[in-house]
Structure 1
Amino acid sequence: MNKITSIALIAGLFVGGSQVATAQEKSDNGLNPLSLRPVHDSNIAYKIGLWRRVDLREKQNQPLFSYENEITKHLIEGVKSGILDAYSEEDLEERLTLEEFNERMFKRFEGGGLSQAEIDAGFGDETASDDGWGDAGSSDDGWGDASDNTQEPEAKSTSSTSTTTAPQDGYEMFPNEFYILEIKEDWIFDRQRSRQYFDIQTITIKIPAEASNDGLEKTLASFKYKDLEQFFRNNPNAVWFNEENTAKHINLADAFELRLFHGRVVKKSNSLDKYLDEQYGSAQEALNKSQQIEYDLIEKEHNMWEY
């Protein structure tokens, strides 16, 4: 009798702790407001959070990143047109204004000023005033006294500098420069339907480290997947490119539904909120653990049928 009571008490504590941990993800009706097809809390037998890193340059992911039809292009256009809400981070606590979003997309040239290609082409060289008609070291315009025209060229030079310096500090990055997505999802086993679900919560566009202004990987914007699903379905151009049959491209919403992408697990929900490479100290160990998590999920689904 005592043993049964103890087991019941432990089970009650486990369930109660689970409810507290997930309360912030639920609305008052017991459903996750970020879920596309929410499962009621009372029907969830098991759930963990997963973060997947999707490299759009990988062969399996290239249909999401086809030429001039990149998924990032559609997301950026959605924000600029005011259709999509962009958030500063995956917690979705701060919505970005269009100005803030554009600022994040702006790539500054190293050290400011012109790009190396423009410098090599001869633009912006202020050390010489040669206009192609005479000696660069002289202010003589070839028509008479050099002093007669000193003021006017100087004024033009000042005006030219003031109107061209600002736009030469950088450029707005192109959609194909954003090739990293991070998908946050819940792995859920629904006891009522006796099946597993991958419930995507958010999709985040990352700025690659080599493209970032400070050399660190950063977030461009995060989006509610629930919003994206409807946005994709309303956009006939938002397609997963079918290389085998170009008459049968697939809408991006269906592509995510069918899991037509590869995303390596880089983080599993944990008390310290750390990524795998932070937990295990090396990229190799993190990769091994990522693969192990995938195997564990398959085994977990199989074992849940025994309950």
Structure 2
Amino acid sequence: MNNKIISVSVLMVWLSLMSFSVFAQLGPQGYNPNSVRPILEDDIMYRKTIWRKINLLEKQNKPFFSNKNEITQVILEAVEQRKVQPFVPTSDPRKSGFDDEDQMEYEECVQKLKSYYDPNFGDSVIIRPSELYQVEIKEDLVFDRRRSLMYWDIQSITIVMPQGTTPDTQMGELPIATFRFKDLYDYFNEAYKASLEKGPTEDLRAFWYNPDNPKRHVSLSDAFDLRLFSSRIFKVANPDDNDIASIINNEYGADNPETAKKILYESQKIEYDLREFEHNLWEF
């Protein structure tokens, strides 16, 4: 019994220390203004920032990318209507990326998401919605000691131009625009509810396609709440601010034929370790 009490005490101290392991933006009342459901900072005993890649062509993610209702197309419509503010993507872990100087012009964002200039043709080429099938999310895994619950708190979504889509992406993928998830969450709900009032299912917008019952779709906001997406962790907050690929390449070498496999393995291992950590919180 004493051992368990000691273990719990050690765990609580460790959690308290870990809560300062990443940078967080705080509002005047001690809450993160970028959270959909803000938690008082003093109640957060643990926080770890995670970056994920979502391939919308994967089978599990196709409901986010249904024909003529691709999530990237829905976001583009929100920008065209000036309902959400686009931001210039940043990899600086010390910044939220949502400051005034980080804002991107609406017209610039729309242009980048709809077309690109191809020097081979000497003209602009239209980007189809189906070509924007990759997004990244940045989120915090937090432990709320007041409610004794772990939460995934998504902070941002970045639309990424896949490798090979444009002349600028021949050597690798290219982040195009970042959006505050809280803004998208509100827009998804607004667009979904507005389309429901029109009646026919064909008029639905901003919805997650339900393959088991096409008459019962859910909003994209609810789909993120339920974490219906499949993703791969590519970065976890660390002192050197390196992503998993950089860490593995530095250790094994970029030319090692096993490197790609090791990167995938490490990503999955981190996912399992996070789940095990949450599970172990309730073992005492």
Instruction: Give the structure-2-normalised TM-score.
Output: 0.79
Letter in 2 for 1:176: S
Counterpart of 2:229 in structure 1 is 261
1:109 aligns with 2:118: yes
1:10-49 matches, within 5 Å, as 18-19=19-20, 21-22=22-23, 24-49=24-49
Cα distance, 1:73 vs structure 2: 0.7
Unpaired stretches in structure 1, ≥5 consecutive residues: 1-7, 114-168
Question: Given the two structures, how large is their TM-score scaled by the length of structure 1?
Answer: 0.73
Q: Give the match's secondary structure for 1:226.
A: helix
CA RMSD, Structure 1 to Structure 2 (Å): 2.3
Amino acid at match of 1:109: D
State the Cα distance separating 1:102 from its structure 2 match: 3.3
Q: In the alignment, which of 189, 207, 210 is matched to residue 143 of structure 2?
A: 189
- In the TM superposition, residue 27 of structure 1 has moved relative to its aligned partner by 2.1
Residue matched to 1:95: 103
Classify 1:49/1:21 alpha carbon distance in 2 versus 1 (closer, same or farther; 3 Å). closer
The Cα shift of 1:178 comes to 0.5
- 2:133 aligned with 1:179, yes or no? yes
**Structure 1 residue 99 displacement after superposition:** 2.7
How far apart, in 1, do the equivalents of 2:221 and 2:215 lie?
18
2:141 and 2:36 map into 1 onto residues whose CA distance is 13
Name the structure 2 match of 1:82.
82
Q: Structure 1: how far apart are the matches of 2:207 and 2:74?
A: 10
AA of the residue aligned to 2:107: E
Aligned to 2:218: 250
- CA displacement at 1:111 relative to structure 2: 2.0
The CA deviation at 1:239 is: 0.5
| Aligned-residue identity in percent | 37
For 2:165, the aligned partner's letter is: A
Rounded Cα–Cα distance in structure 2 between residues aligned with 1:181 and 1:191: 31
Deviations, residues 141-165 of structure 1 (Å, cap 9, x unaligned): xxxxxxxxxxxxxxxxxxxxxxxxx
- Deviation for aligned residue 1:185: 0.4
Kindly tell me the number of residue pairs found equivalent between the two proteins. Answer: 242
- Which protein shows a greater Rg? 1
Deviation at 1:46, TM superposition (A): 1.2
1:231-242 to 2 correspondences below 5 Å: 231-236=187-192, 237-242=205-210
- The CA deviation at 1:171 is 2.2
Q: Which residue does 1:283 correspond to in 2?
A: 260
Aligned residue in 2 for 1:272: 240
Query: Larger relative contact order (C-alpha < 8 A, sep ≥ 6)?
Result: 1
The corresponding residue for 1:156 is none
Q: Is the 8 A contact 2:52 2:232 kept in 1?
A: yes
**Change beyond 3 A, Cα 1:13–1:292:** closer
State whether residues 212 and 218 of structure 1, in contact with CA within 8 Å, keep that contact through their aligned partners in structure 2: no
What is the CA-CA distance between 1:302 and the residue it aligns to?
Answer: 2.0
Structure 2 Cα separation of the partners of residues 291 and 255 of structure 1: 22
CA contact (8 A) 1:107 1:211 kept: no
